[in-house]
Amino acid sequence: MIRRVAITGVGFVSSLAQDAPSTWAKMLEGGCGIGPLTKLSMPGEPAQLAAEVRLPSGPDRGRRVTFGEHIALVALREALRTTLGPKGLHPRRMGAFQGAGTSGLPSAEAFAQGRMAGRRPGAADAIYQSPTTITDALGRELGAMGPRSTVMTACSSSLMAIGQAWERIASGELDLAVAGGAETLCMTTYAGFSSLKAMDPGLCRPFSRDRAGLNLGEGAAQFILEPLDQALARGAEIQAEVCGYGASLDAHHSTAPHPEGEGATMALRMAMDCAGFNPEDVDLVSAHGTATPANDSSETAAIRAALGGAAARVSVTSTKSQFGHTLGASGAVGAFAAVMALRTGKVSPTLRLENPDPACDLDYTPLFARERVVRAALVNAFAFGGNNACLALKRWEGR
């Protein structure tokens, strides 16, 4: 028996604000969290912009944590407050699922730099480079002793993590899970994307004719998932229903997407099949939308191939124009935009889309937020290596 799965808690720490309601309000106002790069010293790089989270770092309730752990914990606590419980669940029936990109790389960089400079960082410092650090911190905070998973499929990681949490709850293995992602800036990824010439020295312009690449960003988005019947029984507010997900591999190139979006199309179709959606059911696609020349055209082709004629009436939006590319957390950030659109009937805008690319011919919600009926949404996340993920969400309508 497959159980229906609800999102009952949402937490978001972003470059726009430090909680979900404030972030959503600023998204609808057209706010942009991208600004001058101040957290890294990268004087040789042409791009000097990033979407930085302005939250003080330091011990978390007396415990030493990395900045990534810190923002992830702040987002989890907000999600737990909004979900109002539940109480009394067995710890072994609760799990933690996280997507990781840079993860502990900033800690590894600091440790290595200290050693090379002749300093002797503490022996335990290197532990914080582990990709599982954030997942473990969230599991401890939740008191979860059930399955934990840290997914590292680059930019599709956190969407895959949400999909894994959905599977465990839908199958009856778990009664509650935290799922999402947290990402912070680090020199290695900044230099890497720059060396690929994938970063725009100016503000990124997804789906524009003159788009020139992405801006990097940081943030943490966390969701509480639980069985729908359990949530209804305790009177929880249903934020959205998770209906399934799709995952595929391009088997094409290490960094470039398939030009016609074949693997991405497969992920979208798998998600819709899993959810029981027809193309006409989908009102919103929260796009990967990186603003790189290769991604945006191939994603457009994938949406058209998956939705057919229904693509013409679908709203599309790119959160990258507001938060930059948060890498391993970007799928969860896209899911946040979709969940809030399902709840409010408002679609956040794709900023700076003033000169559309003729090859990108969908409705990308340019410049301004828009009100519309949003019954169901797809969330895309496509990653290096051709790792594609698509999450299917539905508005809760009381039955």
> Which residue numbers are catalytic?
155, 288, 325
Q: Which ranges of the chain would DSSP assign to H, the alpha helix?
A: 20-28, 67-83, 105-116, 133-142, 157-170, 187-195, 228-233, 262-275, 293-307, 320-323, 330-344
Q: Is residue 383 helix, strand or coil? A: strand
Tracing tokens 């599309």 back to the chain, one arrives at 316
Residue 373: CB atoms within 10 Å: 8
Give CA–CA dist 193/196, Å, rounded: 5
CB 147 within 8 A of CB 168: yes
Amino acid at 183: E
The residues, any chain, with a CB within 8 Å of residue 301's CB and separated by 6 or more, are 259, 260, 261, 265
> DSSP of 300-311, one letter per residue?
HHHHHHHHGGGG
Give CA–CA dist 182/202, Å, rounded: 24
